[in-house]
Structure 1
Amino acid sequence: MKDQQTLTEELDSIDEYEREPVPETKTKDFRSFVSMMAGEHIAGTEFVIGPLFVLHGVSASAIMIGLLLGNILATLSWTLVCAPVAVKTRLTIYYQLEKICGYRLVSIYNAINGLQYTVLAASMIAVSATAIGLAFRLPMPGLTDLYPTSFAWIFAVLFIGAVITVVTIYGYDRVAAFSAVCAPWMPLVFLAAGVAVLPQLGVTSWGNFWTVANDKIWTGVPQPGQTHYTVWHVMFFAWLCNIAMHIGLADMSIYRYAKKPTYGIASAVGMFIGHGMAWLASGVLCALAIQQGNNNPSPGGIAYASAGLAGAACVVIAGWTTANPTLYRAGLAMKGIAPHLKRWKITFWVGIMATFMACFPGVASKLDQMLAFYALVAAPVGAIIIMDVYVLPRFGLLTNYAEKTGIAFNWVAAGAWLIAVLISYGLYLMTNADFFFFMAAPGWVIGAILYVGLSKVFQKAQTPEVVA
């Protein structure tokens, strides 16, 4: 009883500054963000996303050009958009939105955001669990399975989910420390695994790599039942698969700890190694699995087949280092709905929910679709914050409108957000696009224009006492 009370008191004493700016004395150095971004974006899910490009028939030239351009745009989005506003406010996105939108409106966003992050964390847990199962020779589901395939699978998920939840409830410092330990060696495993299997695909020298890449890996021909992806799909996916985090500003919650806004450049490590080299390496592994007759490989399976236990361990740890900050964000989002509850308690229950979801492997197999929907919903929210912090003062308009006027629901912000999402989705339907990510960037622009325009109209209609 005494030990339990001591643990509870320790957790209660952890201050994550959920409703106040991070003090300058608590900011982190650049290395902390390199580790965090590397740990989060060199992830177990790279063994899902890399194979998706192979399955969807991306050509070799399309994936190389698309990844280069997309990852440059993603890095610039963190460096020029997300990190500057995070350092300027030192607030979580959830509290900043509450000041702008009001408690009732931000509670809707927090519920959607928290649920989406919980699902994303669940997919990380599921990916890690496939590697645990293979290490112990247990039957594991494949990339296209939707439901649990065995009790062994459920046990592996429960174990992984428990570890991730325990690390995350201790807060940002533990999450960052976990990434710092794991990040340095994971890229080496990805690279070694991809290079090791190239001879089995027919690569005898770097001179014939490009020929094999076109003929056997990124062939330009999708697998049966899959749509065809082009260079534009690759570029927009690489740029906007994390739109909620960079120009959607969810990573305000991470970068509020940065000493300088230039620390946003740390994202390049995660992008070009995790969303570049790791996607290419896992694509190579998937192509080999298909050549060997396995049309439904699991993430852990393709890693274990190429790098043995080291590959399986890489998938497990990579899933942990991504799930930890994801679950951390989910806890902060739900904390915005119930500010009277301790963050660690909320994170604990969110971790249980994510672990339960992870029992269904379809959560990971539909990862690209889930990220695309999230991008569509989250993009206009980031635009609203950017406009409120930087643009509204230039027009002499009131910022943090809900906080200063005492309203609980900012109809201007709600209208800009909803209309932007509906227009983006309408464009998606009208153009017969097969890719949600194409509409996330227009959604951001539409949300920004609407919020400024509606603010000018609405605030001018108020009495001078309100807008003073």
Structure 2
Amino acid sequence: MASNMPDMDRQIARMDKEQLPVPRHKLHRWPHFAGLYAAEHVAATEFVIGATFVALGAGIWDILVGLLIGNALAVLSFWLITTPIAIDTRLSLFTYLHRIAGDSMARLYNWANVIIFSVISAAMITVSATAVRILFDIPAQTQPYPTDPAFILLALSVAGIVVLVAVYGFNALTDFASICAPWLMVMFTAGGMVLLPELAESVTGATTLADFSTFIEVAGSTVFTGTNAQGEPGIGIWEVIGFAWAANTFAHFGLIDMALLRYAKKTRYGLTTSTGMMFGHYVAWISAGLMGAATAAVTQTSIVVLEPGEVAWHALGASGFVIVVVAGWTTANSNLYRAGLAAQAELPISRNKATLLVGLCVAVISCFPFVYRSMLPLLTYAGLVLVPIGGIIFAEHHLFPRFGFSRYWARYRGLRHNVPALATWGLSLAFGFALDALDLMPFYYLFVPTWCLSIVLYTLLAKRCGAAERYPEAEQSERLFQTRVQVFQAEQAAKERYEPIKDTTPLSRAIKAIWMIGGLLVPAALAWRVLFDSPDLASYHLNRELFYDVTIWCTAIYFVFAYWGLKRAKAACRGRPADAVVT
């Protein structure tokens, strides 16, 4: 770090913006995060996870209550653990970890992210391929490995598109993904509504649901029965709670989402993660389970081997193809982009080349169906691997100041390798996986004792290695650095005094009305009609066919007009000077 103010100012001006705290004029309000989490957590994997709960034999009340509690715990974790650190530092996890733990730790962490996000991206590509294969009459892939060369070619083709978009067109895809959330929410809900009468008729002999107790009877006897695929008692409420909490462990306890929440103006914005948790991981999982069970019954196929594409086709018709492909591609691209960034940090090549290199590996992995069929353990173990990093950051950020220890002590001592951090990560992983091997507790909860152990271990080891000492000169230099950063960013804000202009022109209002009514309200109304206005099987089939036929056109209307409206809004937001804005 530069020792005098002019040198420090020049150093700050040359630094990459990702290495600096997010400036105040770049912060966002809560609607930004509500939409962001809704879009990210309503994905194609919801078909897989919803069906997995059915195959594992969860009971209806275990699902309704367990998912509610587990997802509430996840929201609280985002709010109370991730968001305060993100707002205090305004840094991404990688940048903050590098300041705390040095090069070696950051390098290992990056490679762990490359592996984890590559596998998740590959799973999303395979999910998309399961929908596309229906168009080409390719047989279903029921084995862990590909059994048809045509499916391999298809998976590689889908992967190629995803990789190219991640390499060259990620900004366009990000714009496109931002408009998907409302449509995905409507379609996931509609799919369950459309197939419920079919399930109800098999149980009660009637295609209508009289009340909530009838829904419980139907769902409890046909979908979430409490009996697994082998006919044995299934998982209970504690397992359901554990998975719902653990599904995003790497994001909240592991602090990955510091990258997103560092832009939040207030800590309470962490509660906006509920749009993703309570809809994507509650309503969508339940609806996906209903769709999967109904499809399995009609096709006389085990839900264990049923593909997301088949489920979506049966529930939503041609729109089901769109939902699987869109949700799979958008999620695959974001995760591949993350993997490429992590790889680029460790390789002497550009981000585009790093993403392309990682993408080639992802393409190969996407040919194997076992990857997406293993999403529950994959997400849980990924969280277990990254959770100790969150514990290390939590300890140094929150506990060290309270104990009189020095935050950034390893950097102040000039250490490139933070041995206590490396040892903590290794020992915590050994502890967590040992608990799993000994089967002392459900693996969904392994992250809790592992995270707690990492906090204790790192605090004790860091104290022995110099964290308890004071470094007055280095601390003074750090305070000066932060002050100069604020001055630099204030100057930048003055130069960039632009405010977004809300587009309220008649054309933009008309565009918004078209995609809201034609793209969202009409499919929702048709799904409502299927569920509540189908007194017999004949009328049910008639209403369902109408839903299929009209919804595909509504889907086209939604994406055309929503994307048009987005481009107009972005054009308006390119801005004019703030002092010229009419308020």
User: Normalization by structure 2: what TM-score?
Assistant: 0.72
The equivalent residue for 1:454 is 461
CA distance in 1, matches of 2:67, 2:324: 22
Q: Secondary structure at the match of 2:345?
A: helix
Output the amino acid matched with 1:281: S
CA–CA separation in structure 2 for the residues paired with 1:289 and 1:83: 40
Match in the other structure for 2:108: 108
- Contact kept in structure 2, 1:93 and 1:252, CA below 8 Å: yes
**For residues 468 and 79 of structure 2, what CA distance do their matches in structure 1 show?**
37
- Specify the alignment match of 1:181 in structure 2: 179
Equivalent residue in structure 1 for 2:218, among 203, 212, 218? 212
What is the match of residue 155 of structure 2? 157
1:381 partner amino acid: I
Q: 1:423 to 1:454 in 2, by over 3 A?
A: same
Deviations 1:430-460 (A, max 9, x none): 3444x42221111111111211222223226
Q: Percent identity?
A: 36
Task: Tell me if structure 2 keeps the 8 A contact 1:32–1:180.
Answer: no
Partner of 2:330: 321
Counterpart selection for 1:332 from 337, 341, 348: 341
Counterpart secondary structure, 2:334: helix
8 Å CA contact 2:200–2:209 kept in 1: the answer is no
- Correspondence 1:440 to 2:438: no
Q: Structure 2 regions of 5+ residues with no counterpart?
A: 1-14, 202-207, 476-583
**1:315 to 1:421, Cα distance in 2 relative to 1, 3 A:** same
Matched residue, 1:373: 381
Q: What residue in structure 1 maps to residue 94 of structure 2?
A: 94
1:156-176 deviation digits (Å, cap 9, x = unpaired): 323433343344346985554
Is 2:256 the partner of 1:256? no
Moved more, 258-267 or 230-239: 258-267
Q: Which moved more, 1:28-37 or 1:300-309?
A: 28-37
Distance, in Å, in 1 between the alignment partners of 2:266 and 2:173 is 20
- My pick for the range that moved more, 453-462 or 87-96, is 453-462
Which protein is bigger by CA-based radius of gyration? Answer: 2
Unaligned runs of at least 5 residues, structure 1: 1-14
Asked if the contact 1:94–1:333 (Cα under 8 Å) also holds between the matched residues in 2, the reply is: no
For residues 261-280 of structure 1, the aligned pairs below 5 Å read 261-280=267-286
Q: Larger deviation: 291-300 or 65-74? A: 291-300
- What's the CA shift for 1:131? 1.2
1:413 to 418, 421, 426: 421
SS in 2 for 1:94: helix
1:35 and 1:176 in contact (8 A); partners too: no
Q: Secondary structure at the match of 1:185?
A: helix
- Amino acid corresponding to residue 114 of structure 1 in structure 2: V
Structure 1 counterpart of 2:358, one-letter code: V
In 2, Cα distance between equivalents of 1:459 and 1:132: 57
Q: Deviations over 1:113-133 (max 9, x none)?
A: 221111011111111111122
Kindly provide the amino acid, as one letter, of the partner of residue 451 in structure 1.
Answer: Y
Which whole-Å CA distance do the structure 2 matches of 1:205 and 1:32 have between them?
A: 37
Q: Which amino acid aligns with 1:327?
A: L
Q: CA deviation at 1:16?
A: 8.1
CA distance in 2, matches of 1:392, 1:463: 12
The equivalent residue for 1:75 is 75
Judging changes above 3 Å, is the alpha-carbon distance between structure 1 residues 460 and 255 closer, same or farther for their aligned structure 2 residues?
A: closer
In structure 2, relative to structure 1, the CA distance for the partners of 1:397 and 1:109 (3 Å cut) is same
Distance change >3 Å, CA 347–CA 460, structure 1 → 2: closer
Relative distance call for 1:27 and 1:198 in structure 2 (3 A) is: same
TM-score by length of 1: 0.89
Once the two structures are TM-superposed, the CA of residue 225 in structure 1 deviates from its matched residue by 8.6
Equivalent residue for 1:398? 406
How far residue 354 of structure 1 moved from its aligned partner, in angstroms, is: 1.7
Pairs aligned (count) = 450
Q: Which residue of 2 aligns with 1:85?
A: 85
State the partner residue of 2:294.
Answer: 288
- Which residue of structure 2 aligns with residue 198 of structure 1? 196
